[in-house]
Chain A
Amino acid sequence: MRVEILNRQWTARSTIGLAGVLVFALSISPVLYMFVRSLEHNGQFTLAYYAQLLGEPRQRRLLGHSIQLAAWAALAGSALGVPAGLLLARLPQATALLLRFVLLVPLLLPPYILGVVWVFVMGRAGWLSRWMGSDVASVWAYSLPGAGLVLGLALAPLSMLLAEAARRAIPARLIEAARLVAGPSRTLARITLPLVASSLAAGGLLVFVLALAEFGVPSLLGVRVYTTEVFTQFAALYNFGAATATAAPLLLVVVVAAGLARILLGGRVLTSSLMAEQPLRLSSPARVAAQSYLILLGLLMVAGPLLVLMVEAGSWRALLDALVSARIQIGTSIALSIIGASLATGLGLLLGYWRARTTSGGRGFFDVGMLVLFAVPSTVVGIGLIGLWNRTGWTGAFYTSPAMIIIGYLARYVPLAALLLGAYLQQLPAAREEAAIVFGAHWWRMLGRIVVPAARLGLAVIWTICFIFMFGELGTTVLVAPPGTTTLPVRVYAIMANSPDQRVAELCLMQTLVILLSLGGLLAAVQVAGRRQKNGGKVDE
């Protein structure tokens, strides 16, 4: 609580204030705009859309469906992620790092890719039906629990990360004290689980919130929930007010769930520390069993889907053809994602720095606000952006250019970058920055020469995460992309309905390979940094 001075500098205030204004313009204003539009019709104030919303049983069914879908996802995500996280926390750092990277992949893939794999395996003409000789699974595959399971698979790494961080945060001596008098299962039930319970619950809530906001998977599997309904109201019926009013209950549930997650986690909304405690060593057989389980999970969650896509895509030659035919979309996606990730990381750094170093009570509000903004359904963001930017004048010039896609990316992912960087920067000792200030450095110099170099690994990680998310962004891009500019996810979405499975598989595989390459680069960077640190090198973050 002693670092307020770092944010009190005039330069700090004005720079961070400007970043805040930008986030307001990019991320908050589309949501506010939609809310205001839902309260007017032909220039008059009205609650008609809401009355309609409350009056129609169909709307209540939609809310029920959305909550069911999110609950199934939270259940599946926790069931897969929590044991994995608790086991990862007991492994040595080097092994845990590698397995964690592999198990993180589903979170970084666009969920619809897992949806496509799900359809290939469980769909009407899928592998299972062909193998069994009849359509045995499609009823379930295209149901709410089926879609929930796919989203649970996609979001399980989030539960895993929170469970691992919570487990590593328990001082080893607490567990050792229990093990002196109790066996492993009693220690787990009476000591470990109660200590990590709030983090596990928060992990489940975060999965719940993100599943609630997902558009690609329910759309692909034909499950009718609020996000698909918002899209239909806007894209098919062009009913702006109804689309907005439809989004309102969803936003309310998102706000409540995100607030609950913040309360459960305290100040650690998205912790980035997985190194806090040297874990108690597992016995050799237990370690082998834990590693085997995690490798199996990796096969199920990562290698399995990849294999399905490879089989469906056919030969490498076909893949090469697909690469050539989609080269423009791939290039566009990579270029826009690089620009978007760089801007998001820059803005996230400024806001995250404020979050990390402020002593004001605004931190809790910031956490919930950023979490809610990140969880706002992509279709809602897209429609809000259209309403705000599709006008004559300078906004219209942006609206008809590829810059609009970057604006969409920033609207969705600056809150995530700010949240992650806030958590990361909070772990760096503030005394180093105070020292720079005391010795005469002005705020920008301190930020550039002390904070950025100290945080460069975190910045690289968050840049990569933003790049990957932006590279796979669908719900907002499909709405705001100007004519003549198509990203890879939009191309995949467009061909899903009317192209052969092989082509869909090829493009999904391509997208997955780009993401895996990015992750591989990041893993290499992390390992180099780790090796430097081990060898007493230059950076100790």
Chain B
Amino acid sequence: MNDDFLKLTNIAKRYGTRVVVDHLSLTVHRGELLCFLGPSGSGKTTLLRMMAGLEIPDEGRIEIHGATVAAEGRSLVSPQDRRIGFVFQDLALWPHLTVGEHLDFVLGSRGVPRRRRPEKIEQALSLVRLHQRASAYPSELSGGEQQRVGLARALVTEPRLLLFDEPLANLDIDLKAELEAEIRALQQRLAITSVYITHDPGEAFYLGERIAILQAGRLVQVGSSPEILERPASDFVARLMRLWQVRGLRGAPDSDRHFAGES
């Protein structure tokens, strides 16, 4: 069976006259975690939203598990029916629902019978170590716990594809390191094909089996961490690797791990 799980072919997206994603092609393998790395405005969030069905590519084709979900300016499969899990940047938790109700709502939306939901909710909350907090509202949770709710919500329906939109961007360094480790362990344990976007090279190299580097909507290099570090494909990639390494050696604060790419 073909090992390609997510296939992007010649994807392009414009907002007005501004090209956000410029004819990008890429394949994500089954069970792999691929990180998109790029500065602000490089098109990585738009790309992720097109995979989720929240945006429609102007050109090109997106295939998930062999089925074409969007092609030539049309969405062929709605976001509801793509069976994906999504961890939003600002988490997008629903303030009026408890942790348990978040998962119940998602399971109900997917048509899971009511009697089977408690067990699934318990499992998902156990995965992210939140089973004691099922009756808490988002405003009653710490930052880390809120992140875990976002993760549990994405996992509860056993999605075939997990998408992460810079979920750790606004966290302090300790919590970020802790959650990075949890995400990596969970992804490896569950072997769900995942796409993770970030502007932090450290995060990308830690999490990604492969890293895809974006510059102004174009894909400039795809490869493993050693490949990119040893054989940067362009001056842009070489510069950002150098910058990141220099800052890392200087022991710069976490915010400085973010490379000063183009804006």
Contact = CB atoms under 8 A, between A and B. Distances in A.
A264 B52 CA distance: 37
B95 A538 contact: yes
Contact of B54 (A5, A445, A536, A537): A5
Contacts of B75: 5, 8
A439 B110 contact: yes
B90 interface: yes
A538 B80 contact: no
Contacts of B111: 440
B105 A441 contact: yes
Residue from A2, A8, A435 whose CB has the most chain B CB atoms within 10 Å? A435
Nearest to B112: A440
Nearest to B139: A536
B206 interface: no
Contacts of A324: none
B90 A439 contact: no
A11 B86 CA distance: 23
Nearest to B153: A439
Interface string A436-477: 111111100100011001100000000000000000000000
Contacts of A538: 95-96, 137, 139
B157 A438 contact: no
A537 B137 CA distance: 8
Contacts of B15: 1
B95 A541 contact: yes
Contact of A435 (B46, B55, B88, B157): B88
Nearest to A432: B92
Nearest to A3: B54
A450 B109 contact: no
Nearest to B86: A438
Residue from B49, B79, B140 whose CB has the most chain A CB atoms within 10 Å? B79
A441 B110 CA distance: 7
B195 interface: no
B54 A440 contact: no
Interface residues of B, number: 36
A431 B137 CA distance: 18
Contacts of A450: 94
Contacts of B88: 431, 434-435
Contact of A440 (B46, B139, B157): B157
A429 interface: yes
A540 interface: yes
B90 A431 contact: yes
B139 A537 contact: yes
Nearest to A540: B95
Contacts of B92: 429, 431-432, 434-435
B78 interface: yes
A449 B105 CA distance: 8
A9 interface: yes
Contacts of A442: 80, 109
Interface in B88-137: 88-90, 92-96, 105-106, 108-111, 137
A22 to B, nearest CB: 26
Interface string A230-256: 000000000000000000000000000
B42 to A, nearest CB: 16
A438 B84 contact: yes
B49 A2 contact: yes
B39 interface: no
Contacts of B153: 435, 439
A539 interface: yes
A434 B53 CA distance: 10
B113 to A, nearest CB: 14
B94 A432 contact: yes
Interface in A29-73: none
Contact of B80 (A2, A429, A441, A453): A441
A2 B109 contact: no
A454 B139 CA distance: 14
Interface in B40-83: 46, 49, 52-56, 75, 78-82
A403 B141 CA distance: 49
B55 A5 contact: yes
Nearest to A431: B92
Given A9-B78, A431-B88, A540-B139, A454 B94 contact: yes
Nearest to B138: A540
Interface string A509-541: 000000000000000000000000000111111
A245 to B, nearest CB: 43
Contacts of A445: 108-109
Given A1-B15, A441-B105, A536-B139, A434 B54 contact: yes
Contacts of A8: 75
Residue from B52, B92, B140 whose CB has the most chain A CB atoms within 10 Å? B92
Contact of A539 (B52, B84, B95): B95
B137 A437 contact: no
Contacts of B53: 5, 438
Contacts of B108: 445
A440 B55 contact: no
B257 to A, nearest CB: 25
A438 B94 contact: no
Contacts of B78: 9, 437
A541 B79 CA distance: 26
A2 B54 contact: yes
Given A440-B106, A440-B157, A449-B105, A5 B79 contact: yes
Interface in A378-426: none
Contacts of B94: 432, 435-436, 450, 453-454
A540 B92 CA distance: 12
A63 B80 CA distance: 56
Nearest to A453: B96
Nearest to A533: B139
B96 A439 contact: no
Contacts of B105: 436, 439, 441, 449
Nearest to A437: B79
Contact of B96 (A431, A437, A454): A454
A431 B91 CA distance: 8
Given A2-B55, A5-B54, A431-B88, A437 B95 contact: no
Nearest to B53: A5
Given A5-B54, A437-B79, A536-B139, 20 more contacts: A5-B75, A5-B79, A431-B88, A434-B54, A435-B86, A435-B92, A436-B109, A437-B78, A438-B52, A438-B54, A438-B80, A440-B80, A440-B81, A440-B106, A442-B80, A445-B109, A537-B137, A538-B139, A539-B95, A539-B96
15 contacts: A2-B46, A2-B55, A5-B75, A429-B90, A431-B89, A432-B92, A436-B109, A437-B54, A437-B79, A439-B86, A439-B109, A440-B109, A449-B105, A536-B139, A536-B140
**6 closest pairs, A vs B, by CB?**
A440-B109, A431-B92, A441-B109, A435-B92, A439-B106, A440-B110
